[in-house]
Amino acid sequence: RYPDIELTLEEQNLLARMVWVEAQGEPFEGQQAIAEIVLNRLVAENFQSSVKNVVYAENQFRSTAFLEDAKPTSIQYEAIERALEGPYVLPIDVVFFATYPVNDNIWGEIGGHIFCYQNS
């Protein structure tokens, strides 16, 4: 699904911190889905092309202010591995999540997050 994505150790650590901040209290499936959102954005044409740029894009993730204090565990790293290798939780064109619908193009809900496709 993501044949051209190979995350560096730095990118894995950043993504693990983001998953921890955004979804540490969510079920494993929800944590994997957060990692998939970032990967889905990497392969989408209208988002940034690096993990760092996706995570720190303006007005995209509220978690960025708390990333330095994050303490990811093996669970977040496992969620990233599953997001990369499958089985996948989300379709590849689901690129948004929040505690509310960000648009009317809703895929579904996992835990406290609602996941949305891009608007057509």
> What is the secondary structure of 107-119 as a DSSP string?
EEEETTEEEEEPP
Is residue 106 a contact partner of residue 115, using CB atoms and an 8 Å limit?
A: yes
What confidence score (pLDDT) does residue 120 get?
63
Please tell me whether residue 6 adopts helix, strand or coil conformation. Answer: coil
Question: Tokens in use for 109?
Answer: 């809900």
Amino acid code (one letter) for 97: F
Return averaged pLDDT per consecutive 10 residues of the chain, 120 residues in all.
Answer: 94 98 96 98 94 94 92 98 97 96 96 91
User: pTM here?
Assistant: 0.95
Is-contact 79 31, C-beta < 8 A? yes
User: What is the rounded CA–CA span in Å between residue 111 and residue 73?
Assistant: 19
